[in-house]
Structure 1
């Protein structure tokens, strides 16, 4: 029994609404894969840099700032991984790993997040297909 025969057996044993739920669940699992691909892309294509000018951190929100990339491009946007108190926000020269519109303080966090998202998507597929397999019996 090949993979196509297995999938035809599972889908054939489900009611129409169960097939619809199966398709919706499998499509929803594309979302963590999109986030994982984004983090892999950022991990591979970012550059080491430092902040340029002041970094502003809201007391309940993200930190934002600007940085200079190789080639003279200036990046700006949210900086993930910074947590400053209000009186410490005028700090300059913070080490970053960044692209044009994103920055993180720790590059390894991107790899960890991507691995976590890939694992979550794989586990989700296993759970969804297991449930479909048992419901088709």
Structure 2
């Protein structure tokens, strides 16, 4: 089945309510036996004695969506998945908030787990998405954009 490219980008953080709703929508799909979910969360790292309060995500969107479509097609060809959903934040995401949500489903758990892991690794290494740390001393700039 030929799939169309999907927009994976979300402005700002990915809300827990959105994640819960995505999971709930799959309860009617009774051919699914296993789901695997990865949630990437912004850490409050300490870099040069400055605390990270957010990450500002940017991308070359057209190229990223094209590359994600290729990854998606290759994953569907490799694993027996029922569905796959990928959402990545753009813009500022505060520490503690979710910036990446990957959700795979299959008739059996192993395909869902393996596919989810591979998708996450490929997103991190192949997608032109960049994150710039925003520090406590820069919050005045960040809060203006929120």
**TM-score using structure 1 length:** 0.29
Structure number with larger C-alpha Rg: 1
Q: Which has the higher strand share?
A: 2
Higher relative contact order (CA 8 A, sep 6+): 2
Q: Which has the higher helix share?
A: 1
